[in-house]
């Protein structure tokens, strides 16, 4: 049953695991990744489950590992990723891992504390060194001004430098404080000092040339040395409070030069000793982190696997003997043998003598939807699942989307040059797949591009194809096969004297109908004034044709759903009327589009009727009086017949299915998936395939359920109206293929003529220089506007055509995704 076109057949299984073997069995199932466990304890609080203590221990191990990882990255040490994927360690190894992580964490915290204290001491000594050096220069500068008898500073310097005895016995008690402050706080600090002390202090400051390292954050900080002179204890107290408020650090500074030199020598000695100890501490810390960096990836994997196993075991139930764990899980029927082997391996690894048991169960619950994908199909499956996960065993649109999605995108994006750039970009991502997969981020635009690399590759390839169909290569046509239009009978004088020439396709010398352009649009249309008129007609009809074909294919796919779910009633009361309604109106319109192209050539094109008027008159039953005005004989009778059939299909879709359901209810036979209960197929769980359950969301049949014919009629009427009106609106919606194709072509032509054509318009070396200058602008605008913006627009419109116009004909998307317990998925989520 499971195939590329439908989800895998799923079964609900019950597992009986011995307590000592449960851990190893769940570990093996996690490596396999084919089992989705159900929570058998939904009403039990997470903190009251059996293995909650083990989960907490795992959380603590992860916290310690994250702390070590942070320290490793902070030190700039590369984390070694050998690609090793160890198995989940046995429970007894968990104690060793905890002890190892505890030891490393304590050692790192102790080293960090010691290093921070050493750095703080080193910073203080360094600041003191700069204070002694800078204050010495302050005093020397003041002494120099005093000796030079600088009028502005002589009196001030004399008062500052002389002792009490030399001042005539009048003690002034002039004091000073010295310290350091952050550079950005200095202007505010200086203003505050001036205002608070009313100008009665004297401040000198200078910047420390080399930035200092903050012992806590490790950032580089710029600081300044200052010295403040004041008189009196009251000003001293005020100055110290201001320094404390601005977080300035004050240091003792001797008054005499000899004492300052002696202290500076002692400070330098202590700095050298402290630097030696700091280097040794840093080397030890580096060795510890390098050793941890070699194993931290493996430790993370082990800790996360242990945590995932115990989290899964919390979903299980204990039997009455407390010796056996009972679990329920969804798993693919095709992989039951592999699951049995995994359970057998887990039992053997645990050393248990009692084998694990797996029993298949019957249930009316809708199973999860599981589509097997690979790196190529996963992107297209993600597009479909973004609309809604397929109901169980419903037709999967993803295989058809692989072709139709990039093709419809290319119809709107049709330019061979732009498609080539897109395809080359995708090929580069595919070629460097392994390297880029390790470098890509979980979030951001790059992850989106890389995840859809195969979608982009096909979009680029199809755009090259449609570009050659439109004969567009960066808005220019390629004359590969030679145009079928010629100007043999037109003289040179006529060409020079007439700005516009009309070429008549009826003249054989001008156009050779026997040898049309072999592939795509004739390149001469790129020069024609009526180019847009011609291409509009062509692309409009092409868009409608592609839309009707895709919608008809979608209706046909609904037949596969009805057949699979054994619903013959829907096959005859829904599928056949829907297909006839669509074909009688829009299928006929596509046929007359091709008929008009074939039946009317250039010689009788003036007789060709308008398709729009023809379709309108078809529903109004207005027909021409003359037989010559018909497109073909019997047109009137056929169109009346098609309209009557289309109208008759509406009550068929509306009443047939509710009538037969009402009749079956009256006869006492409820329906199962559209078939009566007598004909419902029941398979034994051990022999043959199990019957597919109804899609999720379908009402479960109960004996006491009331039959409401009114509700069924309303439901059927809604679907009938939705389909009939949808056929009209969806057909019109496909005209976006024409509109976006026209917009892309015109934008490309405008960009060429207004940017690159400027450089190509000059001759000689001037033209070469101008072309070189304007080409980067042309390239940037091409990528930004035509590839990114226009590409995103075409992508979204193609996505809408698939989600609404195509999938609405057969796809419900009411299922839920199969999410197996998988270590591989767990590791991908944490990378």
Residue 514 belongs to some domain of the structure: yes
Statement: residue 162 has pLDDT above 80? no
CATH number at residue 30: 3.30.70.260
- State yes or no: pLDDT of 189 exceeds 50: yes
pLDDT band at 723, cuts 50/70/90? Answer: very high
Ramachandran bin of 444, using left for φ above 0, alpha for ψ from -120 to 50, beta for the remaining angles:
left
CB-based contacts of 4, cutoff 8 Å, min separation 6 = 396, 399
Res 442 pLDDT > 60: no
This prediction's pTM: 0.78
CA dihedral 561, 564, 566, 568 (to 10 degrees): 50
Q: How high is the pLDDT of residue 701?
A: 42
pLDDT of residue 145: 52
pLDDT above 90: residue 801: yes
Centre a 10 Å sphere on the Cβ of residue 824 and count the other Cβ atoms it contains.
13
Statement to judge: residues 753 and 654 lie in one domain = yes
Mean pLDDT of 541-556: 95
- Residue 130 — pLDDT band, cuts 50, 70, 90? confident
Residue 437 located in a structural domain:
yes
Q: Please indicate, yes or no, whether residues 571 and 605 belong to a single structural domain of this protein.
A: yes
Are 601 and 730 in the same domain?
Answer: yes
Same structural domain, 335 and 483: no
Q: Of 133-137, 378-382, 574-578, give the lowest mean pLDDT range.
A: 133-137
Q: Which domain holds residue 464?
A: 376-497+505-669+709-806
Q: What is the DSSP letter of 295?
A: H
Question: Is residue 466 one of the residues assigned to a domain?
Answer: yes
pLDDT of residue 419: 95
Average pLDDT in the chain:
84
Mean pLDDT of 718-732: 93
Show the CA angle centred on residue 610, arms to residues 608 and 612, nearest 5°. 155
Is 830 part of any domain? no
HSE (side-chain half, CA atoms, 13 Å) at 596: 20
Does 620 fall in a domain?
A: yes
Q: Locate 606 and state its tokens.
A: 């003036």
Whether residues 325 and 385 fall in one domain: no
Q: Could you tell me the pLDDT band of residue 678, with boundaries at 50, 70 and 90?
A: very low
Report d(CA 660, CA 452) in Å as an integer: 47
548 and 615 housed in the same domain? yes
Could you tell me if residue 328 is inside a domain? yes
Q: Tell me how many helices (H) and strands (E) the chain has.
A: 27, 13
d(CA 50, CA 726): 55
Name, in order, each residue with C-beta under 8 angstroms of 122's C-beta and a sequence gap of 6 or more.
Answer: 215, 271, 274, 275, 278
pLDDT at 214: 83
Convert the pLDDT of each residue in 266-316 to its tens digit. Answer: 889 998 998 899 899 989 999 999 999 999 999 999 999 999 999 999 999
Nearest by Cα to 313 from 41, 498, 706, 596: 41
| Matching residue, tokens 């030199």 | 261
Burial (CB < 10 A; 0-12, 13-18, 19+), residue 69, is middle
Q: Are residues 603 and 523 part of one domain? A: yes
Span 552-599, pLDDT tens digits: 999 999 988 887 777 788 888 899 999 999 999 999 999 999 998 888
Q: 694 pLDDT band (50/70/90 cuts)?
A: very low
Domain identity same for 335 and 450: no
Report in angstroms the alpha-carbon separations of 219 from 178, 277, 446.
24, 21, 31
Lowest-pLDDT range, 84-98, 397-411, 752-766?
752-766
Q: Do 595 and 737 sit in the same domain of this protein?
A: yes
List of residues 6+ apart from 198 with CB closer than 8 A: none
For residues 487-512, give the mean pLDDT: 69
- 388 and 346 in a common domain: no
Question: At 81, is the pLDDT very low, low, confident or very high (cuts 50, 70, 90)?
Answer: confident
Confidence category of residue 368, pLDDT binned at 50, 70, 90: very high
Assess if residue 535 is contained within a domain: yes
Are residues 341 and 477 located together in one domain of the fold?
no
Determine the pLDDT at residue 660: 87
Claim to verify: residue 663 and residue 753 sit in the same structural domain: yes
Reported confidence tier of residue 173, pLDDT bands at 50, 70, 90: low
- pLDDT value of position 144: 54
Give the pLDDT band (50/70/90) at residue 63: very high
Is residue 562 within 8 Å of residue 570, measured between CB atoms? yes
Length of the chain: 831
So what's the pLDDT on residue 527? Answer: 80
Taking 70 as the threshold, does the pLDDT of residue 221 lie above it?
yes
Helix/strand/coil (H/E/C) assignment for every residue in 217-283: CCCEECEEEEEEEEECHHHHHHHHHHHHHCCCEEECCCCCHHHHHHHHHHHHHHHHHHHHHHHHHHH
Which residues fall within 8 angstroms of residue 13, CB to CB, at 6 or more apart? 328, 329, 330, 331, 336, 339, 358, 359, 360, 361
pLDDT of residue 406: 96
Going by C-alpha positions, the residue among 189, 195, 197 that lies closest to residue 243 is: 189
Q: Report the domain count for the chain.
A: 2
- Closest C-alpha to 390, from 376, 405, 369, 407: 369
Q: Where are the alpha helices (DSSP H) in 314-414?
A: 336-350, 378-387, 398-412
Distance, CA of 285 to CA of 29 (rounded, Å)? 40
Q: How confident is the model at residue 443 (pLDDT cuts 50, 70, 90)?
A: low
| Number of other CB atoms surrounding residue 167 within 10 Å | 13
Contact by Cβ (8 Å): 576, 585 = no
Q: Are strands 220-221 and 324-332 parallel, antiparallel or unpaired?
A: unpaired
DSSP 549: H
Residue 80 has pLDDT above 50, yes or no: yes
Contacts of residue 439, Cβ cutoff 8 Å, sequence gap at least 6: none
Rg (CA), the chain: 42
Cα dist from 629 to 608, 632, 636, 681, 780, whole Å = 8, 9, 11, 58, 54
How sure is the predictor about 683, in pLDDT bands with cuts at 50, 70 and 90? very low
Is position 98 within any domain? no
Of 112, 105, 92, 84, nearest to 300 (Cα)? 84
Is 511's pLDDT higher than 60? yes
The predicted structure's pLDDT at residue 3: 65
């Amino acid at each position: 049953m499971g195939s590329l076109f439908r989800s895998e057949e799923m079964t609900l299984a019950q597992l009986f695991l011995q307590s000592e073997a449960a851990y190893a069995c769940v570990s093996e199932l996690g490596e396999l990744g084919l089992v989705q466990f159900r929570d058998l304890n939904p009403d039990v609080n997470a903190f009251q489950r059996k293995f909650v203590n083990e989960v907490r221990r795992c959380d603590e191990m992860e916290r310690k590992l994250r702390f070590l990882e942070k320290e490793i990255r902070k030190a700039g040490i590369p984390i070694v990723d050998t690609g090793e994927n160890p198995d989940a360690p046995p429970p007894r190894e968990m104690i060793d891992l905890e002890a190892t992580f505890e030891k490393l964490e304590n050692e790192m915290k102790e080293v960090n504390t010691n290093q921070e204290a050493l750095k703080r001491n080193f910073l203080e000594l360094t600041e003191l060194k700069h204070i002694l050096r800078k204050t010495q220069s302050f005093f020397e500068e003041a002494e120099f001004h005093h000796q030079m008898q600088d009028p502005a500073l002589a009196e001030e310097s004399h008062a500052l430098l002389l002792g009490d005895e030399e001042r005539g016995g009048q003690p002034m008690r002039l004091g000073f404080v010295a310290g350091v402050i952050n550079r950005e706080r200095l202007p505010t600090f200086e203003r505050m000092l001036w205002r608070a002390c009313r100008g009665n202090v004297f401040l000198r400051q200078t910047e420390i040339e080399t930035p200092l390292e903050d012992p806590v954050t490790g950032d580089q900080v710029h600081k300044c040395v200052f010295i403040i002179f004041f008189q009196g204890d009251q000003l001293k107290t005020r100055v110290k409070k201001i320094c404390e408020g601005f977080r300035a650090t004050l240091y003792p500074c001797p008054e005499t030069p000899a004492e300052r030199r002696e202290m500076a020598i002692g400070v330098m000695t202590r700095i050298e000793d402290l630097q030696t100890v700091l280097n040794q501490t840093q080397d030890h810390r580096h060795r510890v982190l390098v050793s941890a960096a070699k194993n931290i990836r493996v430790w993370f994997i082990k800790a996360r696997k242990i945590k995932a196993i115990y989290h899964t075991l919390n979903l299980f139930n204990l039997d009455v003997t407390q010796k056996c764990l009972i679990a329920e899980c969804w798993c693919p029927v095709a992989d039951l043998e592999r699951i049995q082997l995994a359970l057998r391996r887990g039992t053997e690894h645990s050393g248990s003598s009692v084998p694990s048991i797996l029993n298949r169960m019957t249930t009316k619950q809708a199973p999860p939807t599981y589509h097997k994908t690979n790196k190529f199909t996963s992107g297209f499956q993600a597009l479909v699942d973004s609309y809604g996960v397929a109901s169980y065993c419903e037709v999967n649109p993803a295989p058809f989307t692989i072709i139709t999605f990039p093709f419809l995108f290319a119809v709107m994006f049709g330019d061979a040059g732009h498609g080539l750039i897109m395809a080359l970009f995708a090929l580069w991502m595919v070629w460097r797949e392994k390297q880029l997969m390790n470098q890509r981020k979980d979030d951001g635009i790059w992850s989106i591009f890389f995840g859809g690399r195969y979608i982009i590759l096909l979009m680029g390839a199809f755009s090259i194809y449609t570009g050659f169909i439109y004969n567009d290569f960066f808005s220019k046509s390629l004359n590969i096969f030679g145009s079928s239009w010629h100007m043999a009978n037109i003289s040179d004088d006529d060409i020079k004297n007439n700005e516009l020439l009309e070429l008549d396709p009826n003249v054989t010398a001008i156009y050779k109908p026997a040898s049309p352009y072999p592939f795509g649009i004739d390149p001469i249309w790129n020069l024609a004034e009526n180019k847009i008129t011609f291409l509009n007609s062509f692309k409009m009809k092409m868009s409608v044709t592609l839309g009707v074909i895709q919608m008809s294919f979608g209706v046909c796919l609904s037949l596969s759903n009805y057949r699979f779910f054994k619903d013959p009633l829907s096959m005859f009361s829904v599928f056949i009327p829907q297909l006839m309604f669509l074909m009688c109106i829009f299928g006929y319109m596509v046929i007359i589009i091709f008929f008009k192209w074939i039946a009317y050539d250039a010689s009788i094109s003036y007789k060709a009727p308008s398709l729009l008027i023809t379709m309108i008159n078809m529903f109004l039953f207005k027909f021409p009086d003359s037989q010559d005005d018909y497109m073909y004989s019997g047109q009137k009778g056929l169109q009346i017949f098609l309209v009557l059939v289309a109208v008759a299909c509406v009550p068929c879709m509306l009443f047939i299915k509710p009538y037969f359901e009402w009749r079956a209810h009256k006869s006492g036979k409820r329906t199962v998936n559209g078939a009566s209960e007598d004909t419902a197929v029941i398979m034994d769980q051990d022999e043959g395939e199990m019957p597919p359950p109804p899609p999720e969301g379908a009402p479960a049949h109960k004996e006491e359920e009331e039959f409401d014919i009114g509700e069924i009629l309303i439901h059927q009427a809604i679907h009938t109206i939705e389909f009939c009106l949808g056929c009209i609106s969806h057909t019109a919606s496909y005209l976006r293929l024409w509109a976006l194709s026209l917009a892309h072509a015109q934008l490309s032509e405008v960009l060429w003529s207004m940017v690159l054509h400027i450089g190509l318009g000059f001759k000689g070396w001037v033209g070469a220089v101008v072309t070189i200058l304007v080409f980067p602008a042309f390239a940037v605008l091409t990528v930004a506007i035509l590839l990114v913006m226009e590409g995103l627009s075409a992508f979204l419109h193609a996505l809408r055509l698939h989600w609404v116009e195509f999938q609405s004909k057969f796809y419900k998307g009411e299922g839920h995704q199969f999410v197996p317990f998988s270590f591989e998925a767990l590791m991908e989520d944490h990378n």
